[in-house]
Amino acid sequence: MLLDDRVVVVTGGSRGLGLAMVHAFAERGASIVIASRKFDNCEAVAEEVKAAYGVPALPVACNVSDWSACDTLIDTVYREFGRLDVLVNNAGLSPLYPTLDAVSESLFDKVVAVNLKGPFRLSALACARMAQSAGGAVINVSSVAATRPEPSSLPYAAAKAGLNALTEGLAQAYGPSVRVNAIQCGPFLTDVATAWTPDVRKAAEARIALGRCGEAEEVVGAALYFATNASSFCTGAILRLDGGAR
């Protein structure tokens, strides 16, 4: 599962699951583009990656909910590296709200923009260019909420369900040279989990066959599978990575 001479873009790459994937790809020889809203965070990760693995690492500030920012990100990657091999649509957002009728239009639009609109635009741009050259892979980071929606995160769940549909549709649109797959994640102990109360975590783990939440590093195996030729006959797939959640 080496990634020598590959260029990999990870949105939301400065923390959580994105950060774990950035380190895994860099460790295996990939040139990395770390994209998130805050440039300083991306820059810090880029310096860390270059020092640890000796690979090129480019920080790019990008709010994926902004259509033009998505265009700029892909243009920047091709200007700097001349190619793109793997796009990981990992940036996500799921704000809290008291009740469904209290969800504002702006909050709803923001959730859909980050979790669905951005991945659509980035994937369409990346896949079109990949298909014209040596091909590549797109990895969408989805959620169990897409198929097991909870009232407390319904706009997010709907957006992730759309991302699952996008995964299968893009796989059909850009095959055979571009593969598009999704990792449907359950609860992981990233920085987001620090806001959970003990009762929330206990309730989540009670619904998981493995009896625990995932650690960020446990996304790496699935990400490497989809990013490399190990999954050469796999596209349009949605892999549950949720510890056996029900």
pLDDT at residue 165 in the model: 98
For the segment 46-86, what is each residue's pLDDT rounded down to a tens digit?
A: 999 999 999 999 999 999 999 999 999 999 999 999 999 99
- The lowest-confidence range among 35-44, 158-167, 189-198 is 189-198
d(CA 200, CA 66): 32
Which residue is catalytic, options 53, 78, 97, 156?
156
**pLDDT-above-90 percentage for the chain:** 91
d(CA 173, CA 55): 32
pLDDT at residue 36 in the model: 97
- The lowest-confidence range among 21-30, 98-107, 195-204 is 195-204
Q: What is the mean pLDDT of residues 150-159?
A: 95
Give catalytic status of residue 53 as yes or no: no
d(CA 25, CA 13): 11
Q: Does residue 236 come out as left (phi exceeding 0), alpha (psi in the -120 to 50 range) or beta?
A: left
For the segment 81-100, what is each residue's pLDDT rounded down to a tens digit?
A: 999 999 999 999 999 899 99
Q: What is the pTM (predicted TM-score) of this model?
A: 0.96
pLDDT at residue 200 in the model: 82
pLDDT at residue 203 in the model: 85
The domains of the chain, with CATH numbers, are 7-241 (3.40.50.720)
- Which string of DSSP letters, residue by residue, matches 168-230? HHHHHHHTTTEEEEEEEE--B-SGGGGG--HHHHHHHHHTBTTSSPBPGGGGHHHHHHHHSGG
**Start-to-end CA span in the chain (Å):** 31
Q: 176: cis peptide before it, omega within 30°?
A: yes
pLDDT at residue 111 in the model: 98
